[in-house]
Structure 1
Amino acid sequence: MGAWVDSLEASLLVSLRLAPALAFAQPFSLIRIPVTVRILIAIGLALWLVDARPALTADRLAGHGFIGLMAGELAIGISIALALQLAFGAILWAGGVLDFQAGYGLATLADPTTREEMPLAGTVLVYGAAALFFTTGGQYDLLALWVASIETMPVGYGLLTPDMAALGSYIGTVFILAIGLVGAAMLAIFLADIVIAFLSRTLPQMNVLLLGFQVKAMLLLVTLPLAIALAGALFLRILRLAITAPTNWWSVG
């Protein structure tokens, strides 16, 4: 009976590693599945992980305060969710920058899944990255990350102190790579701005503002699919970093 209770307690603790990513982080938050269902999936996966590795979980609970154990597990879960959220947030930000440059800064889409307003190009890029995440087996890589975290840091391992240098390096890297996703489209729109600026000097009677909106809107529609098609490696690099980066942040506090 005692072993069964310890196993259940360990499962509830391990679910705190899984629930933040499944419940609140993209790409899972882009799927129209209720948060409650995703949390139940996290609990089910935690039961499986504990049952598969009882020596790495339930046997280490003795002598530890439950609140401290919860804090340690939640810190690991939040670090994994943060890595995913930063990666997809960088992609969405890059799409927003492209929208602003193309003149779509005031136009947003109402996303029925997240119930938030999202930029036009950013929405395309984020959902494209989510589709690529699942089609390339990102969910299995994430599961392998959870398994590795159980083996490296079993329940009771201790609180974590963030490695701010590694976190800062990750943030800078994903945002630079995200700009690379739309770099070709941004360059084309920038060149169009230069051409329109020269036209405004030689043909002052032309309605340059109206012409600029039309030209840049057409360029965005043409260049964005090409940029996405050419940036497959960058998408995969960002998603791979989101899976591997949290391992560089874990240290015992």
Structure 2
Amino acid sequence: MIAPPMSQLRVPVRVRVLIALSLAACMADANSSTELLTLSNGDLVLAACVELMFGLALAFALQAMFASLSFAGRVIDVQAGFGLAMVIDPGSRQQAPLFGTIFMLVAGVIFFSSNGLSSLLRLLATLSRLFPPGLLVFNVGPQEIIEYFGTVMGLGLAAASAVILSLFLIDVSIAFLSRTLPQMNALMLGLQVKTVVTLVVASMSLGLIAPVTLRLLDSALRFVSSLE
């Protein structure tokens, strides 16, 4: 319900809830464990809280994956002078950065086209068999979360590394020119040059998004599988 890219789809919340309940019923029916029936009320509430924490951790894994690409796009927007250029995200219907929205939409297409959803459901089904509902031991520490967050943020910046490096070199060049030619309007020249370079380099480096997205998906699935 709350994890991208599923949350980015323009599907009514009621439909998403029904799909989530249907998947939960299928996974619960595939598990023949009856140990939940022997739990007391207090243990049952504790088990439900643990399962909820696991779901939030799963949503965090996917949120961090797509947030890294959104952050990389935001860095490009600020460097290229598009910081005030906001677009409407069709999924959330909220304002979002220009290149960040492009990266997230492309990553969502790659996620579904590379059977990322099937891999995620297969992993959840395997975990539900190994750890029946209510018997999950959620012992992940803050160190694992911090390491995963650092990994995905680094991978997200790798998708935009070519554009970021090009814009940085342009800023350095214009800074030297402004010191040599004080009468030059560095602001207007820099904005025009960086706009052209951003579009050209971004078009040439679009091939970086696919492998980075696949590595982000692999990192997210590995993080989910290491939660127990």
- Secondary structure of residue in 2 paired with 1:118: strand
Q: Which amino acid aligns with 2:115?
A: G
1:201 aligns with 2:159: no
- Aligned residue among 47, 56, 69 for 2:47: 69
Match of residue 7 from structure 1: none
Q: Does the 8 Å CA contact 1:174/1:238 hold for their aligned counterparts?
A: yes
Q: CA deviation digits over 1:28-85, x for unaligned, max 9?
A: 11111012211100111122222222x13xx121222332232122112111111000
Q: CA deviation digits over 1:206-246, x for unaligned, max 9?
A: 21101111111111111112222134222210111112212
Alpha-carbon distance, 1:87 to partner: 0.8
The equivalences for 1:5-20 within 5 A come to none
Q: CA deviation digits over 1:125-158, x for unaligned, max 9?
A: 0111110000000000110111022022111214
* Structure 2 CA distance for aligned equivalents of residues 244 and 145 of structure 1: 10
The equivalences for 1:168-187 within 5 A come to 168-187=146-165
Q: Does the 8 Å CA contact 2:107/2:210 hold for their aligned counterparts?
A: no
* Structure 1 CA distance for aligned equivalents of residues 104 and 46 of structure 2: 36
Q: Does the 8 Å CA contact 1:99/1:105 hold for their aligned counterparts?
A: yes
* Structure 1 CA distance for aligned equivalents of residues 67 and 218 of structure 2: 15
Q: Which amino acid aligns with 2:133?
A: V
Alpha-carbon distance, 1:159 to partner: 5.2
Match of residue 124 from structure 2: 146
The equivalences for 1:209-220 within 5 A come to 209-220=187-198
Alpha-carbon distance, 1:175 to partner: 0.5
Q: Which amino acid aligns with 2:220?
A: A
Pairwise CA RMSD of aligned residues? 1.4
TM-score for the superposition, normalised by structure 2: 0.93
1:242 aligns with 2:220: yes
Q: Does the 8 Å CA contact 1:71/1:159 hold for their aligned counterparts?
A: no
Q: Does the 8 Å CA contact 1:93/1:122 hold for their aligned counterparts?
A: yes
Alpha-carbon distance, 1:161 to partner: 3.2
Match of residue 108 from structure 2: 130
Alpha-carbon distance, 1:112 to partner: 3.2
- Secondary structure of residue in 1 paired with 2:37: coil
- Where does the alignment leave 5 or more consecutive residues of structure 2 unmatched? none
TM-score for the superposition, normalised by structure 1: 0.84
- Where does the alignment leave 5 or more consecutive residues of structure 1 unmatched? 1-22
Alpha-carbon distance, 1:183 to partner: 0.4
Q: Does the 8 Å CA contact 1:184/1:227 hold for their aligned counterparts?
A: yes
Alpha-carbon distance, 1:173 to partner: 0.4
Count of aligned residue pairs for this structure pair? 225
Match of residue 17 from structure 1: none
Match of residue 15 from structure 1: none
* Structure 2 CA distance for aligned equivalents of residues 25 and 107 of structure 1: 26
Q: Which amino acid aligns with 1:81?
A: A
- Secondary structure of residue in 2 paired with 1:32: coil
Match of residue 114 from structure 1: 92
